[in-house]
A and B are shown apart, each in its own frame.
Chain A
């Protein structure tokens, strides 16, 4: 085995790591934004809003992520929207993970005692203020561990963008592999690079969880 392929191609592998990081961060921001909206839709009293939120979650969760990404990349040009592989990947991942984060946040919100909302509303806050200032901060505390899992899943799932010719970690590994046929070192190297991202993410989640617990019963 020629392990030197890794050192020889270190520059493009690190470039791939950076791309994976970029896709993941952007997709994560989109996913959290979608997740908050979906969660709020699913806990409001409006039947129409709940239906919309539920429909989104059930549709997106039950379609393979790769199909979403391919749709964005290959099908949207039919209606005049052309996305690069990078952005198809970011949006696909964000839309997909948003459904899962929405579910996590929803259960977090439902886990906050009902009296918290009543206290906030009875003090004159609007529903949105009550959510933002009282309910969501508490919901997020209990959902840090599952949110961390979703984040790590998102990082791993970002490898699917390689299928729409994004040179992230996996895309770069595919490229080096097909040029050198040194598949064993290349994919072991790729796995290591994913661990470089996911293990610190897991450690970070634990640290955040501990910090938020301080001063909290």
Chain B
């Protein structure tokens, strides 16, 4: 069964129609990359998964729970869905360790010692084991984003959402973040990644989704996408960025 399902989803920002009749089904363990020009609705799409945005029409079903239904306890869904943001959004007044352990301690009521032990493991995994006492402001952008990934993983989510995770990084730091994401892609976690990194899409995506003007224009394997896209708009977009 699909772990994320969009059924006939429409969304408007005032009069602006930002998601148009979106139908999408993402399987457990899939790595899906969403591409498209800016303003095409790709960030909005993934922000609907954990109800950072609400939809006005249609259904968003995440691990069997109807996110669009106001009666759904969204916090239960959010515990299953980690999110990594373009601007990292680490808590600047908390150390790296506190950033990672806050949700496990406060939401899952995990004992502090256990949460910290797990945080150390996660920091090792993202390659910055020694930085646990630093404040975010003392880290480079790439390091901050890796902490943000560790923070998202600390809740042991089933799904990870990435909203342009490398767009705010200096070029030399993009690789270190993408490497961490590639490692994650092989762990069986479901990943939905909004990005402009076509190399990443080609290498690790199971499926690529191309969006334009709020619509899903084309869905397919990376091979399909980068070798034989069907839609003219997809071809036009790819010709501009590749």
A-side residues, CB < 8 A to B, are 113, 115-116, 118-126, 129, 133-134, 137-138, 141, 215-217
Contact = CB atoms under 8 A, between A and B. Distances in A.
A123 B95 CA distance: 17
Nearest to A214: B135
Interface in B62-98: 75, 78-79, 81-83, 85, 87, 89-93, 95
A121 B135 contact: no
With a 10 A CB-CB cut-off, give which of B78, B81, B83, B93 has the most chain A CB atoms.
B93
Contacts of A134: 91
Contacts of B78: 121-124
A115 B86 CA distance: 9
A138 B79 CA distance: 24
B52 A122 contact: yes
A122 B67 CA distance: 13
Given A123-B107, A126-B75, A216 B137 contact: yes
B93 A141 contact: yes
A119 B79 contact: no
Nearest to B91: A134
Contacts of A119: 83, 85, 89-91, 148
B141 interface: no
A1 to B, nearest CB: 53
A125 B137 contact: no
Contacts of A138: 91-93
A67 to B, nearest CB: 40
B61 to A, nearest CB: 18
A124 B89 contact: no
Nearest to A123: B103
Contacts of B148: 119
The majority secondary structure among interface residues of chain A is helix
Contacts of A125: 75, 102-103, 106-107
Nearest to A115: B89
B10 interface: no
B91 A124 contact: no
Contacts of A113: 87, 89
Question: Which 9 residue pairs across A and B have the least CB separation, nearest first?
Answer: A217-B137, A119-B89, A123-B103, A115-B89, A124-B107, A124-B79, A122-B83, A124-B78, A215-B135
B121 to A, nearest CB: 18
Contacts of A129: 106
8 contacts: A119-B148, A123-B103, A123-B155, A124-B108, A125-B106, A138-B93, A217-B92, A217-B137
Contacts of B108: 124
B44 interface: no
Given A120-B91, A122-B50, 4 more contacts: A116-B89, A118-B52, A123-B151, A138-B93
Contacts of B137: 215-217
Contacts of B107: 123-125
B165 interface: no
A123 B93 CA distance: 17
Given A118-B85, A216-B135, A217-B92, A124 B75 contact: yes
